[in-house]
Amino acid sequence: MSLLSKVSHKSPDQFRYAVALGYVPGWTSFRRFGMNNDVPATGSEHIWPPGTAKVLPTSAGALSVVSSNAADDSVAVGAGGWTVQVEGLDSDYVEISESIILDGQTPVASTSSDWFRVNRAYITTAGTGETNTGSISISIGGALQGYIEPLEGESHQTHYTVPAGKSVVISYFSLGIGRMAGATDAHITSQIKLFGDNSSWRAISDIYLFNGETYDSDHSVTVLPEKTEIRQIITSTATTQVFGVYGGFLVLNEVL
């Protein structure tokens, strides 16, 4: 009997704790969160701080990392962020990670030139301010792929690409918007794009939220295969803010 079958009859909380503590081989805890604090009253925006549509690269390249503030500088020992850890995928969708030494408003290139996706970025060392002072922008081929807001220390993006050889099991998600004027609402859609030459985006959930509402769900399970792209988009009838959180497990395909 496999370890998974031994623990599968336990309560959901017990199973989550077992995964988090490393007791279930091939399973790791998974969580992504994003926000957009300046949603306009017209058009659609992605749920990450820039709001713009994230244009995914069609070919791999080096990262270019730069801050909007000179204080984010390891070389000059600035008060802001000194190094940023970037996590993502290479051209084979294999997980890759690299530590980038910040040089303020001067762009810094990654050592690897095989970056294809950016899934997460966070500040690892900093000066007296203890986090980044300016906004940190991470690009591939001139297209923005990662962004850390000033003083946040971590990227806030709902975009995610599932690594090769793994699947994502989404067991919960939460969406919320800020207060809105009048009888207005916001349409939030979660979309996926399966891997393939002619694949297209499709919605896996559509939620309408009204003035200051939050929606939570932990009663359904969605399994997404390797190389699937994930994003969340908001269309609002009034200026507002939005956050999105989803999570569950990242699982080696061989143990599913």
* pLDDT tens per residue across span 116-132: 999 999 999 999 999 99
Distance CA 145, CA 115 (A): 11
What pLDDT is attached to residue 12? Answer: 73
What pLDDT is attached to residue 10? Answer: 59
What pLDDT is attached to residue 84? Answer: 98
| Average of per-residue pLDDT values in the chain | 93
> For the segment 176-211, what is each residue's pLDDT rounded down to a tens digit?
999 887 778 899 999 999 998 788 999 999 999 998
Provide the whole-model pTM. 0.92
Percent of the chain, pLDDT > 90? 83
> What are the extents of the domains in the chain?
3-54+159-255, 63-148
Distance CA 102, CA 52 (A): 24
- The neighbouring-strand residues paired with 15 are none
Distance CA 128, CA 84 (A): 16
What pLDDT is attached to residue 247? Answer: 96
HSE-up of residue 61 (Cα within 13 Å, Cβ side): 16
Does the pLDDT of residue 167 top 50, yes or no? yes
What pLDDT is attached to residue 211? Answer: 87
Q: How confident is the model at residue 256 (pLDDT cuts 50, 70, 90)?
A: confident
Higher pLDDT, 171 or 182: 171
User: 5 vs 2, 25, 196, 228, CA distance in Å?
Assistant: 5, 12, 33, 27
Q: How confident is the model at residue 1 (pLDDT cuts 50, 70, 90)?
A: very low
- The neighbouring-strand residues paired with 209 are 186
**CATH ID of 3-54+159-255, from 3.90.320, 3.40.50, 2.60.120, 2.40.160:** 2.60.120
Lowest mean pLDDT among 92-101, 175-184, 225-234, 236-245: 175-184
User: 134 vs 66, 85, 120, CA distance in Å?
Assistant: 9, 16, 17
| Mean pLDDT (whole number) for 214-228 | 93
